[in-house]
Amino acid sequence: MCGIVGFIGKAPEKVLLEGLKRLEYRGYDSAGIALKFSDRMDLFKAKGEIKNLEKIVPNETTARIGIGHTRWATHGKPDETNAHPHVSSDKKWAVVHNGIIENYIELKTKLNDFGYDFYSETDTETIAKLIEYFYKDDCNVISVLNKTISSLKGSYALGIINKEQDGIYFAKNKSPLYVAKCGNEVMLASDIICFKGFAEEYYPISDGVFGYATENGIEFYDNLSKIDVAPIPLNLGDYSNLNTYKHFMLKEIFETKTAIKNIIEYYSEKNNINKFDGRDISKINRVKFIGCGTAYHACLLGADMLRKKAGLDAEAYVASEFRYQDVCVDDKTMVVLVSQSGETADTLAAFELAKENGAFTVAIVNVEYSTLAKNADIYFPIKAGVEIAVASTKAFSAQLSVLNIFAGLVGERLGKNSDPLYDVRKLFECFDYGNINDFKLLADVLRYNDSLFMIGRGDDYYIAQEASLKIKETSYINSNTYYAGELKHGFLALIDDATYVIVFATDKNVFTKTVCNAEEAKARGAKIILFTCFDLSEADAENFYYIIKVKELGNSLQSVLNIVPWQIIAYYTSINKGINPDKPRNLAKSVTVE
Ligand code: G6P
């Protein structure tokens, strides 16, 4: 979380603000920049979104160097004092940081003993003071940086400037950081999307590497040795803009069909679908799917697809839990990491654990230059295109589509007769966005609710979980999910005549049972909203307060047809409540802290 950007060149204030806007998906609690002039360094900080910072940063300054930060608060409340950049006591050093310094209290205590005072609650201020402390006795900044990062435990992407020096120092460990140059201008950023329009190639920075950039070039160091880093062509495709949409969330929902088309095109190529070529997976006896948030919900459905298509023992885990459970991973285990960003810290930590235990790792990712995509044994891109809105939408549908292909491929390898692309092609033929007016009407009803219940069985339950997450994230409604059969084991106590219960019933094998569970809630006064793909007789329909009907697909990608309406309902509920669905309070899109 948090985004950092640095720039050496003309109009750094403009470039930094533009870069920070592109990084806002990483947090928007506060923002700040430091600009270095020939004789001074100025700091600008503001609470909230970049647009607040923009109001206080002067235009057309004579500065040539600057660093900037957009924050998702971890240590200390989101206010101006805790906003980055943080400075040393002599105000000569300014630091922006993404990550968490786990031993900052220990370092702070030592620095306190050496006479340093702290003005903020952040871990980052410790870094600024540590640099100042080492620099007092050693004016070789490369050696100072080496000492500084050797003292830090945890994750960091750092941009550092000194008011008397004409460059930017940087360092990275377990938080993304990239650098690019164009002529004698240099840019440093948490995400290569900042380089779009600036450079044609960029330099990835490996964990533990640090360096120094000036107008004359970029130097990289590992310990105290200079190292060469090869540039990579910048290949981003279209950077997302709103076009005629008011919000990225709605635009991205309506890009779902294109994502499915991209997936079919990509995986129809022999070279792209033959991911397992040269790999022997015959000894694999269990598969673990791991993700966070929306990606975890995709994992639940992915595990189900694999059980059905390959007959393998498959389970889904929340990444932050997987690390602390006795998860039985060995060289007969396949671990499938699902992540839109490919940078989620908990997912990366689970990946490391899987590797340490000898598992075969598969990444299902959207961001193809991400850490996960680069390091897994094989990776399946989900081809959804850039996703900006915090609430993941098209990426979820794309994850399900690719998980379905993945499950088919594993099945094929294990001797099951299947066409891995069959379900996705059928989904594409059948796909539509449903009856938007019905969804809007429901969103009008939901806006007045403080809490909601969603129930279902099997895949319907997993989709209820994802629908519930969308509603929570974008509308702040306390939406709860229960297995339909579990209502009577306690949860009915919560039901009264003000309660709305949404029943997900798109599986004909359990339709009647699920609807009977809803009846139990109705008998206690609840208003039942039915979400189904089946026709009901007029008499049956009368049992429900409201019915939403979607198309019936007849394979496990029914889940895609089922989730899109809820993404749209969540969007309009959010709009009805006056919330910006692209930037819900307290959240960020890429969660790079554990
Ligand atoms: C955050 C985002 C969610 C996302 C989750 C996992 O919580 O707000 O939208 O599902 O992280 O992110 P990933 O990039 O790993 O899919």
pLDDT for residue 511 is more than 90:
yes
pLDDT for residue 236 is more than 90:
no
Q: What is the mean pLDDT of residues 192-199?
A: 95
Domains of the chain with CATH codes: 3-233 (3.60.20.10), 248-430 (3.40.50.10490), 436-576 (3.40.50.10490)
Q: What is the mean pLDDT of residues 356-372?
A: 96
Q: What is the mean pLDDT of residues 43-55?
A: 96
Got the DSSP string for 321-333? HHTTS-----TTE
Burial class (CB in 10 A: 0-12, 13-18, 19+), 437: exposed
- With cut-offs at 50, 70 and 90, classify the pLDDT of residue 538: confident
pLDDT for residue 594 is more than 80:
no
**Residue 319 corresponds to which tokens in the numbers above?**
């990444």
Residues with beta carbon inside 6 Å of ligand 1? Answer: 292-295, 339-341, 344, 347, 390-392, 587, 589-591
Ligand 1 center to 343 CA (angstroms): 9
Is there a contact between 392 and 367 (Cβ–Cβ < 8 Å)?
no
Q: Which amino acid is at 331?
A: D
Q: Which of 249, 344, 183, 239 is nearest to 18 (CA)?
A: 239
- With cut-offs at 50, 70 and 90, classify the pLDDT of residue 402: very high
- For ligand 1, mutation pick of 340, 343, 390 (most atoms within 8 Å of CB): 340
User: What average pLDDT does the chain have?
Assistant: 94
Measured distance CA(553)–CA(474) in Å, rounded: 28
| Residue 589 falls in the annotated catalytic set | yes
- With cut-offs at 50, 70 and 90, classify the pLDDT of residue 331: very high
Question: What pLDDT, on a 0 to 100 scale, did the predictor assign at position 74?
Answer: 84
Question: What pLDDT, on a 0 to 100 scale, did the predictor assign at position 290?
Answer: 98
The model's pLDDT over 481-507, given as tens digits with 9 standing for 90+, comes to 999 999 889 888 888 888 999 999 999
Measured distance CA(67)–CA(334) in Å, rounded: 42
pLDDT for residue 239 is more than 80:
no
Ligand 1 center to 2 CA (angstroms): 14
Q: Which of 36, 129, 174, 589 is catalytic?
A: 589
Of 8-12, 393-397, 404-408, 449-453, the poorest mean pLDDT is in 449-453
Q: What is the mean pLDDT of residues 345-367?
A: 96
Q: What is the bridge-based pairing of β-strands 209-214 and 286-291?
A: unpaired
pLDDT for residue 278 is more than 90:
no
Alpha helices in 485-577 (DSSP H): 511-523, 538-541, 558-576
Omega prior to 85 cis, within 30 of 0: yes
Query: What is the atom index within ligand 1 of the atom nearest the CA of 347?
Result: 15
The model's pLDDT over 462-478, given as tens digits with 9 standing for 90+, comes to 999 999 999 999 999 99
Ligand 1 center to 582 CA (angstroms): 13
| Residue 416 falls in the annotated catalytic set | no
The model's pLDDT over 135-191, given as tens digits with 9 standing for 90+, comes to 999 999 999 999 999 999 999 999 999 999 999 999 999 999 999 999 999 999 999
Q: Which of 137, 78, 148 is nearest to 107 (CA)?
A: 148
- For ligand 1, mutation pick of 472, 590, 592, 594 (most atoms within 8 Å of CB): 590
Q: Which residue has the higher pLDDT, 397 or 418?
A: 397
